[in-house]
């Protein structure tokens, strides 16, 4: 009787969790067994909010190792609008210009969100409004890179617009979506929803902590991402030195972990999934 009771509670808990995360409509994809070069793990380095320190510090550091990354651009920022040519060149050199909305709306109702203004309050958005904003960014970025597919990063990691999970309203607009996972252990298992790509969000994080995350990805043969903001400046920053030390470590371990943009990793995942389907 006690076991049945606990099982019932567990079922309720799981159904509550899937409702909260939108995972009940999950379109899962299997993780590849191996990545280009034979690596068993993969990572995407992602940089949010179109910040000047990313232009000054992240782009040259990535270039030193020829790593390709994803820059989640918010259009209504000077780092984007004053530097269109730099982003155009970044795309030409292989970086992904990811979608991070026009105005960076976030849920003002969450704790610590006093800074969210009414015009950027995701709690006051409709599903149509957030979808329209994401469409507008796709159109603007297409003028820079000529591409029609790109990934998205949830602003502030929020999934709710007007209190409703907006994942399914934008699923057809983007190739996948990166979350901001509070749980750095949040490693992907065999299958996952492309609209819930987990990430280690860093802020004043040491190179050693970031390297420990990379080591976990390698030991679990899985895929992860890191969410950067400022690099040696701006907000939520990590130092230029710690960022460089992470890139050096990734470079030394290229045979173990593959580094590429979110879009390129998603293309590899889809390609391997369709190949597996055609074999079965």
Judged by CB, which is closer to Zn ion: 112, or 280? 112
For residues 158 and 177, the answer to whether their CB atoms sit within 8 Å is no
Judged by CB, which is closer to Zn ion: 49, or 133? 49
Count of residues that bind Zn ion according to CB under 5 A: 2
Strands 96-99 and 70-73, by their bridges, are: parallel
Alpha-carbon distance of 215 to 107, in angstroms, equals 33
Closest chain position to Zn ion (CB): 48
For residues 264 and 70, the answer to whether their CB atoms sit within 8 Å is no
Binding residue for Zn ion (CB under 5 A) from 22, 40, 43, 48? 48
Neighbours of 230 (CB within 10 A): 23
From the list 4-12, 44-52, 121-129, 208-216, the region that binds Zn ion by CB under 5 A is: 44-52
From the list 16-24, 46-54, 165-173, 268-276, the region that binds Zn ion by CB under 5 A is: 46-54
Close Cβ partners of 218 (under 8 Å, ≥ 6 residues apart)? 40, 41, 253, 256, 257
Tokens found for residue 175:
């190739």
Judged by CB, which is closer to Zn ion: 95, or 120? 120
Binding residue for Zn ion (CB under 5 A) from 49, 193, 242, 260? 49
Ramachandran sector of residue 172 (left: φ over 0; alpha: ψ -120 to 50; beta: rest) = alpha
Alpha-carbon distance of 236 to 256, in angstroms, equals 29
From the list 19-27, 43-51, 89-97, 241-249, the region that binds Zn ion by CB under 5 A is: 43-51
Judged by CB, which is closer to Zn ion: 153, or 207? 153
From the list 31-39, 40-48, 80-88, 130-138, the region that binds Zn ion by CB under 5 A is: 40-48
Q: In angstroms, give the least distance from the CB of 152 to Zn ion.
A: 11
Alpha-carbon distance of 36 to 167, in angstroms, equals 30
For residues 159 and 102, the answer to whether their CB atoms sit within 8 Å is no
Binding of Zn ion by 158 (CB under 5 A): no
104-123 footprint of Zn ion as x/- string (CB under 5 A): --------------------
Q: In angstroms, give the least distance from the CB of 231 to Zn ion.
A: 14
Q: Interface with Zn ion by CB under 5 A: which residues?
A: 48-49
């Amino acid at each position: 009787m006690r076991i049945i009771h606990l099982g019932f509670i567990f079922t309720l808990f799981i159904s509550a969790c899937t409702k909260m995360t939108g995972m009940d409509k999950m379109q899962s994809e299997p993780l590849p067994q191996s990545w280009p070069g034979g690596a068993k793990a993969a990572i995407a380095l992602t940089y949010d909010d179109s910040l000047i320190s990313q232009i000054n510090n992240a782009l040259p550091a990535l270039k030193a190792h020829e790593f390709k990354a994803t820059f989640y651009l918010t259009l209504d920022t000077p780092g984007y609008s004053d530097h269109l040519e730099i982003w155009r060149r970044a795309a030409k050199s292989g970086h992904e210009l990811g979608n991070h909305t026009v105005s960076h709306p976030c849920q003002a109702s969450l704790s610590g969100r006093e800074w969210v203004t009414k015009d950027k309050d995701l709690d006051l958005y409709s599903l149509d409004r957030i979808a329209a904003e994401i469409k507008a960014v796709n159109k603007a970025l297409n003028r820079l890179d000529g591409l029609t597919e790109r990934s998205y990063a949830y602003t502030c990691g929020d999934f709710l617009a007007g209190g409703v999970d907006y994942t399914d309203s934008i699923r057809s607009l983007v190739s996948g979506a990166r979350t901001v996972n509070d749980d750095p252990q949040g490693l992907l298992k065999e299958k996952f929803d492309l609209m819930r790509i987990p990430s280690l969000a860093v802020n004043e994080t040491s190179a050693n902590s970031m390297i420990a995350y990379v080591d976990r990805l390698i030991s679990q043969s899985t895929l992860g991402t890191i969410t950067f903001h400022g690099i040696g400046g701006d907000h939520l920053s990590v130092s230029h030195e710690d960022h460089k030390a992470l890139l050096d470590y990734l470079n030394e371990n290229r045979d173990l972990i593959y580094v590429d943009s979110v879009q390129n990793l998603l293309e590899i995942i889809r390609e391997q999934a369709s190949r597996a389907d055609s074999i079965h």
